[in-house]
Amino acid sequence: MAEQVETATHCPYCALQCAMTVTAGHRHSDDRSDAVTVTGREFPTNRGGLCRKGWSAAELLHHPDRLTAPLLRGADGVLREAAWEDVLQLISERVQAIQAQHGRDAVAVFGGGGLTNEKAYTLGKFARLALRTSRIDYNGRFCMSSAAAAGNRAFGVDRGLPFPLEDLDTASVVLLLGSNAADTMPPFVQHLRGAQAAGGLIVVDPRRSATARLTEQGKGVHLQPTPGTDLALLLGLAHVVVTEGLEDRRFLESRTRGYDDVARGLARWWPERVQGITGVPATAIRATARLLARGARSGADGGPGAYILTGRGIEQHADGTDTTTAAINLALLLGLPGTLHSGYGTLTGQGNGQGGREHGQKADQLPGYRKITDPAARAHVASVWNVPEDAIPGPGLPAVELLASLGRPGGTRCLFVHGANIAVSAPNASTVMDGLRSLDLLVVSDFFLSETAVMADVVLPVLQWAEEEGTVTNLEGRILRRRPAVLPPAGARSELWIMQELARLLDAPSLFSEDPSTMFDELARASAGGLADYSGLDYAVLDAGVPAYWPYPSGSTGTPRLFLDTFAHPSGHAVLVPVSPRIDANAARVPAPLLLATGRLLEHYQSGTQTRRVPELLAAQPGARLQLHPATAQDLGISQGEAIVVTSAHGEAHAVADLTTDIRQDTVFLAFHYAGSGSANLLTGSATDPVSGMPEFKTTPVRVSALSAHARGEAAHHREVFA
């Protein structure tokens, strides 16, 4: 009989990091045929609940597509199994040859927000000391970079939620901008019930999403602006707060600076003007601002307060940093951040999106959220790594620029990919795939043969979430333990082991260990004194079960709530930063008549590499569906369920028409979980936010036509060309 073993761990998907128990039958051998099940576990974020993705997470552990041996592309172009020793030796030799011919920065690394803290930290160290390259960035650049940039310049630090998620339970008003949390992290919704009961849930979304529908029946307000106009809407709300004297003057005078410049700029954004830009009625703008102010006053008096929360919908724009800054300015005007009963936060997306951006994967960062250009930061990390300071390269390229350099003269000739599927998830995907094909060497570490791995010269099979030891940091800045619950395939290896072995072959200085606790202890030392300080933590502390929120310096008990006494700028003040729209959404739609927004579905996650392999999830959402309004579809001669073509300046994608009145007539929506001709990122471009490097995912001008009509048009064009 198999022994049933229960392991307490956390879900592999979003940053809510729901607690779960994994139950597996162990036969004390490498027999992996026993059933593995998951159940929700009581925890403050999920309270025992899981979403459809979480409940089905164990199905991937024994999936027949699982990679169980390294793959090496032969001279005939076919990927075949090879020995670990051979592929690692080949990688080290090819890296050295490429760098000898093209320079150190010809080799680059692309990481992921799903890697454990230990792997994210080691990957940054591996890039800089083993590969000796500055070229490292990660897919969090597509997710959290605008919110991070805005948080850093306003507060001096970026932690998604600077308070425990449970604080939302007592709120009377919650303004949620650009997040469909009811689909992307369903257990989160229970924390909005207090605001719903008070009629104070405000959702801003061009679609009547599952989250927007939570406001129905008197439970709140749904504001449905034109895509790309969130910044103007926020300026309109702030205008009402200032002109009607609803701001918290005492808070502004004692805890902030920059009010006068922001207030002057708001004079131009009266509600009627904003209505003309956003389509949101001026009366709704005034009512929303007053509702927020009432909640803020209640919170200041010790009662149910107000919270402003942002998500990718307002951040994944070429002006995402400024838009998020406008949301922070509104929160500061109302006196929300750094108080006990109110606050501002942003909802981190990927499973370790918070920890993944703290410890060295970003092009400009060192562990502990330190700037790589800061001499003191470089000196500290060099001392922990026991290397000369000049052994650490300078800043590299943010993700979009890094991917644009693939295969170009003076650019990247070799790329390592860890925890990302950039052939699907990166903007302007067809150009990215062309770049991947042009590389001298592409090395992908994954547990499935993703669309990126299919293109690789070497594929390295790695461990899944329930097979590995480590830590992740959730959307609250809370560090959590991930524990192994099942045995991995005999041929799979930890990425820590892979980096250890390659570092040895590349004669790298400093410590590289396959032991997660060893690397976590070094991470803690490297982060000491930084904004994201983990120096008071080790596995023993985390295993004791005491909540651990960073900063957690040595000798402390952590920081569940940031900013109660001071903000992280040297002055101790938060900074209001004047912002105004640089982009006219209506002008942007010329010559294409519609604006495409991309996003997520309840059943799928990220590029779909995992969830498209779960039968029940794939059956529920088997392929790309383009949401469009019935009136728009009628104008275009498109019917429900018809095959359609979506065209932008960057490419075209195929989908099925899904007619719904839940979307504006000037907007269409396509999920980004699918590959091939249904890939949404075949349509998106390479425009980025100048501050954060965030790509523009939410307002791509597109044309939509029935596939049959498109085919007729292509045939006519073909006849004209060859007449």
pLDDT in tens, 446-499: 999 999 999 999 999 999 999 999 999 999 999 999 999 999 999 999 999 999
Residue burial 518-547, b: 16+ Cβ < 10 Å; e: rest: ebbbbbbbbbbebbbbbbbbeeebbeeeee
Q: Which domains does the chain have, with CATH numbers?
A: 84-143+352-469+495-519 (3.40.50.740), 145-347 (3.40.228.10), 586-722 (2.40.40.20)
For 560, how many CA atoms within 13 A lie in the half-sphere containing its CB? 10
Residue 514's contacts (CB-CB under 8 Å, 6 or more residues apart) are 494, 496, 497, 500
Mean pLDDT, range 249-271, rounded to an integer: 97
Q: How many helices (H) and strands (E) does the chain have?
A: 24, 27
Rounded CA separation 30/253 (Å): 65
pLDDT in tens, 402-452: 999 999 999 999 999 999 999 999 999 999 999 999 999 999 999 999 999
Structure tokens at 212: 């927007």
Predicted TM-score of the model (pTM): 0.94
Mean pLDDT, range 668-674, rounded to an integer: 95
Instruction: Give SS3 for 646.
Output: strand
Rounded CA separation 476/561 (Å): 9
Confidence of residue 717 (pLDDT cuts 50, 70, 90): very low
pLDDT in tens, 341-378: 999 999 988 889 999 999 999 999 999 999 999 999 99
**What angle, 0 to 180 degrees and rounded to 10, lies between the N-to-C axes of helices 117-125 and 495-505?**
20
Instruction: Give SS3 for 626.
Output: strand
**What angle, 0 to 180 degrees and rounded to 10, lies between the N-to-C axes of helices 271-278 and 282-300?**
120
pLDDT in tens, 591-632: 668 999 999 999 999 999 999 999 999 999 999 999 999 999
Rounded CA separation 422/678 (Å): 15
For the cut 70, the answer to whether the pLDDT of residue 521 exceeds it is yes
